[in-house]
Amino acid sequence: MEYVRLQHADLTVPRIGLGTWAIGGWMWGGTDEQQAIDTIVSALERGISLIDTAPVYGFGRSEEIVGKALAAFGRRDEVVLATKLGLAWDDQGKVRRDSSPARIRQEIEDSLRRLGTDHIDLYQVHWPDGAVPFEETARALEDLRREGKIRALGVSNYSPEQMDAFRDAAPLATDQPPYNLFERGIEADVQPYCADKGIGIIAYGALCRGLLSGRMSTERSFQGDDLRQFDPKFKQPRFAQYLQAVERLEAYAREHYGKRVIHLALRWLIDQPGVATALWGARRPAQLDPVDEVMGWSLNSTDMQAIDAILAECVTDPVGPEFMAPPDNSAT
Nearest to 53 by CA among 6, 5, 121, 118: 121
**pLDDT for residue 271:** 97
The number of beta carbons lying within 10 Å of the beta carbon of residue 205 is: 23
pLDDT digits (tens, 9 = 90+) for 219-246: 777 766 677 777 888 889 999 999 999 9
The number of beta carbons lying within 10 Å of the beta carbon of residue 168 is: 12
* Gap between the terminal Cα atoms of the chain: 45
Residue 158 appears among annotated catalytic residues: no
Phi, psi of 277 (to 5 degrees): -145, 140
pTM flag (> 0.95):
no
Question: Angle at the Cα of 252 (from 288 to 260), degrees rounded to 5?
Answer: 15
The residue from 57, 123, 193, 252 that is catalytic is 57
Angle, in degrees to the nearest 10, between helices 134-147 and 160-167: 50
Mean pLDDT, rounded, of the chain: 92
**pLDDT for residue 100:** 96
pLDDT digits (tens, 9 = 90+) for 33-69: 899 999 999 999 999 999 999 999 888 999 999 999 9
Classify burial at 244, counting beta carbons within 10 Å of its beta carbon; exposed 0-12, middle 13-18, buried 19 or more.
Answer: middle
pLDDT digits (tens, 9 = 90+) for 156-180: 999 999 999 999 999 999 999 999 9
pLDDT digits (tens, 9 = 90+) for 99-119: 999 999 999 999 999 999 999
- pLDDT exceeds 70 at position 28: no
